[in-house]
Chain A
């Protein structure tokens, strides 16, 4: 055994670790010997090692003590001991952010980087660049340029990598070294070439032409380093993606040729790049899949893992392309590396037939407890996808999921399971009761508040409609007794829904509510008192408005309106109808991702689109008296894609007005447009009140102009209108390079496509979780019914989609999904009409030769009913 350090350390350490009981203060005390003459390299080296070790263990060094030690260390540059000098460089790098005035070593380092000792030069460059800031960079620029093209590879590499680190800090300076980097890229040394290419790409990545040239040059001449090949493949696939280049381009050929490289690393990188390309055809995938197939039987676990992980990804989009590998994947399902086994099984679940599902599920349950949460989530996602594919298998899946739910696991994992069970319940009504029972069992012992409240909400929604609602009450009330405030409050809300919907349960629910009114938490008590009072009224309409279907306004909007109300005291009570509605959430996108990296970044609550528009419009003085923004439409293109000017329009509806926002882009680099506005000629009694032009529209910088239109007051049913639009502006020719415009300009105009306003622009989507209750709430005072024959439509699906997009209303109760092999269907739509009138539509559809549709409309306002029926007809 090699014994190098002082005996003392060994005794103080607990046998095997000489660094175990290091005291920072003692080490710093020892560091005083740095000042002794002559320098004892061995002891000094040992102390520097201790300092770096302590820093590495997370020991905190105060600025003063660090600076003191740092300054003492600088004396060690007098020694010529190689290792000691190298450790000094390391200390400099470690202390660069802790100590003050680290720049005093600049001259020592500059001397070393230009000196004769090659061993020092590379590390000295890296240490120097670590302590250099933008201002000092100029001073060492000359040395850096020389170092980049130095014939000693370690010097050149160090200079290139350090330059790369400094790109962030001083892009402009480093950019001046591009010629040197270019020269280094032709180096014979493999690492130098790799580093030079990396730096060149970082400097040029915004210049597509330069990147393409670089690719061409190096892919033709061939590269030495497998790392460099990987880098080039990534650049090529990025270029392909950006240019949406066809797969016959030389870039694709290059990537494909890399599949035959002698390094596995390069082959895998190329295969992975092909697999990740959007719109890859089966034929293009085939060679990539076959190399991955070969890797599946590699003795190297990392390669097997890489291969099966990539195949798993292929299987999501092109299951048939992977079926050829099924045999190889079967061999991996017993792999001792459980990550590999899991990925293999989930891949097989995607590609295999329905008959193999049971066997695979059995295999995976044998080791599901051994794998990490990340992979358990993958398994759950695979099951979720499977349930959609083979709905008949839902009982097997449900069993499996409930077992998983009982096992230990983190939040992400449990949430994935709960989400999966919920989606099974929604897809398969017959699995509802088993699913709810599993979830009830789960919340009996659930540490995650978010999940417990989510499940309680679901129980409140679904429970009352099951044959035996009473059995859920116990589970819910247990939560009121045992859980934290948030869960108790959610439980109270769920209880209220049972009471509201089931008359025979109402007396018991009221008893439980009374108990909740004595809760220690304000929110729970408030909710209980509120529901108690609503329930005692025994009125269906009240129940519907306040228990089943909650607020449908946008929360930030409500906050703003209330704030505004408090600022301007008035006698009038606050009117909920002035609050902008929440835009109905688009059905959650199912993310089918292989191991989802648990996002460490806090999820930002993005303000919704409409709130942003509201802010933007409110900032324009002409539009301030219009009241709250009711609805903003999706953008409509008013020009072809490749024209001189690109214009799209967003329609903003207000109570009695509409604003048309035209987002214009000028794609001519020799023109500057000024005073741009879009003139509109309405076909109906709409009146254009005002134009707000965009003052100036330089090349490729989008700008907006607005038109304000008043809706016809005397005829509330005139909801649709066609506008012919012309863009008018002043053109000033300008120099394409500098953008400098001529002094004179001339007026010009450009005809746009017609703009349609339809009934959908006046209706905001609102989700009514309990449509039946909302239907009863509005009542049949303004009910109207009509029957239509839709001759051109061939399927129920098509009819449903047409109606939804035409009326722009929110489908409720999942009625937008037409079950297979049915000849009739009922579609429920909910929305709010401009002015705050609730409107509900029930459309019964029957399929014969064409589709026959009976539409029943209810609304709080009679005109609205007419508008809807008129527009459907």
Chain B
């Protein structure tokens, strides 16, 4: 969904332009990368910003290389303000124009992260995320629509998406898998018991 072009981009070339054109178009792009910098999900809302896939991936690579080592929360790259956050093997990025209110971008990032965290029951890591990719797409769709912040309250997002991260209904899992996970659970509680015992 490459939405309507944003009227603000014209003054986005320098940081100096006096004031922002008042507009609801706040978010230029959002993307989630894994710990090798591979794209898992990405959305560009301003058709003039990196129109081709190659430019987008270059940008993502550049951003990843500059940000994955230090968790600094905010960066300024290629003339864009970028706020980001990492969790285990995932990196979440929200991109805005250089004049954008950084705290608004942070609000979007936090909402995205919190919503996913709730939906994935705090397992914000690559495997869980990919297993619930449909839910992830829906969450992003509820937070940003064509660059406009649609919702910033994670609770609201979760209610609207109404997505149940699958609690492994038996029908879809093979018996072997159930056994396997049961075994693991037993092992785990065993070790806990031993651990307690040691105390």
Q: Which residues of A contact B (CB under 8 A)?
A: 1-5, 7, 16-19, 42, 45-46, 48-49, 52-53, 56-58, 82-83, 86-87, 90, 93-94, 96-97, 119, 122-123, 126, 130, 154, 157-158, 161-162, 164-166, 168-169, 191, 194-195, 198-199, 201-202, 205, 227, 230-231, 234-235, 237-238, 241, 264-265, 268-269, 272-273, 276-278, 300-303, 305-306, 309, 313, 336-339, 372, 374-375, 591, 593-601
Contacts and interface: CB of A to CB of B under 8 A. Distances in A.
Contact of B12 (A90, A202, A265, A597): A597
Given A18-B130, A130-B1, A230-B104, 20 more contacts: A3-B131, A19-B130, A83-B134, A83-B138, A161-B24, A166-B4, A168-B4, A191-B149, A227-B152, A231-B22, A265-B104, A265-B107, A303-B103, A306-B102, A306-B103, A313-B16, A336-B70, A337-B70, A595-B76, A597-B13
Interface centre among B3, B16, B103, B150 (most CB of A within 10 A): B103
23 contacts: A1-B128, A2-B131, A2-B167, A4-B132, A4-B168, A16-B130, A83-B138, A94-B1, A130-B1, A161-B150, A165-B146, A168-B4, A202-B24, A268-B102, A272-B101, A300-B106, A301-B74, A302-B83, A302-B102, A306-B101, A595-B15, A596-B15, A597-B14
Contact of B127 (A16, A52, A57, A273): A16
Contacts of B34: 17
Contacts of A198: 23-24, 148
Nearest to A307: B102
A859 B80 CA distance: 54
A237 B17 CA distance: 13
B173 interface: yes
Interface in B57-74: 57, 66, 70, 72-74
A58 B23 contact: no
A276 to B, nearest CB: 5
A594 B19 contact: no
Contacts of B21: 234, 238
B74 A339 contact: yes
A598 B14 CA distance: 8
Contact of B15 (A18, A201, A238, A594): A594
A119 B162 contact: yes
A376 B192 CA distance: 53
Nearest to A46: B134
B130 A372 contact: no
A2 B133 CA distance: 12
Nearest to A165: B4
Contact of A305 (B66, B70, B74, B148): B74
Given A58-B57, A238-B22, A300 B73 contact: yes
Nearest to A93: B1
> Which applies to chain A's interface (DSSP): helix, strand, loop or mixed?
helix
B13 A601 contact: yes
B136 to A, nearest CB: 9
B117 interface: no
Given A2-B132, A19-B133, A597-B15, A161 B101 contact: no
Nearest to B98: A597
Nearest to A169: B4
B148 A119 contact: no
B103 A265 contact: yes
B194 interface: no
Contacts of B41: 56
Contacts of B186: none
A234 B19 contact: yes
Contact of B148 (A93, A195, A238): A195
B22 A234 contact: yes
Contacts of B42: 56
A601 B141 CA distance: 29
B126 A2 contact: no
Contacts of B98: 595, 597
Contacts, number: 222
Given A83-B138, A227-B149, A597 B80 contact: yes
Contacts of B20: 234
Contacts of B174: 7
A593 B137 contact: no
A625 B14 CA distance: 45
B191 to A, nearest CB: 18
B2 interface: yes
A5 B166 CA distance: 10
Contact of B177 (A3, A53, A238, A265): A3
A773 B56 CA distance: 53
A562 B128 CA distance: 70
B81 to A, nearest CB: 9
Contacts of A237: 19
A264 B103 contact: yes
Interface string B120-164: 000000111011111101100100011011111000000011110
Contacts of A199: 24
Given A302-B106, A374-B79, A5 B70 contact: no
Nearest to A267: B103
Contacts of A86: 138, 161
A2 B66 CA distance: 33
A593 B14 contact: yes
Contacts of B18: 241, 276-278
Nearest to A201: B22
B198 interface: no
A595 B138 CA distance: 35
Contacts of B4: 165-166, 168-169
A96 to B, nearest CB: 7
A269 B168 contact: no
A90 B148 contact: no
A372 B66 contact: yes
B103 A594 contact: no
A594 B16 CA distance: 7
A227 B143 CA distance: 14
Contacts of A277: 18
Nearest to B163: A83
B5 interface: yes
Contacts of A238: 19, 21-22
A303 B22 CA distance: 21
A49 B43 CA distance: 15
Contacts of B137: 49, 52, 87, 90
A2 B14 contact: no
B193 interface: no
B15 A90 contact: no
A52 to B, nearest CB: 6
Which A-B residue pairs are the 9 nearest by beta carbons? Answer: A597-B79, A58-B53, A198-B24, A301-B73, A234-B22, A265-B103, A337-B72, A306-B102, A593-B16
A339 B126 contact: no
A4 B131 contact: yes
B90 to A, nearest CB: 12
Contacts of B151: 154, 157, 191
B77 interface: yes
B167 A16 contact: no
A589 to B, nearest CB: 12
A82 B135 CA distance: 11
A16 B126 contact: yes
Interface centre among A86, A198, A372 (most CB of B within 10 A): A86
Nearest to B57: A58
B182 interface: no
Given A597-B12, A597-B15, A119 B160 contact: yes
A273 B19 contact: yes
A368 to B, nearest CB: 15
A16 B23 CA distance: 41
Nearest to B2: A97
B75 A339 contact: yes
Given A83-B163, A306-B103, A593-B14, A195 B24 contact: yes
B79 A302 contact: no
Contacts of A598: 78-79
A265 B108 CA distance: 12
A256 to B, nearest CB: 16
B22 A164 contact: no
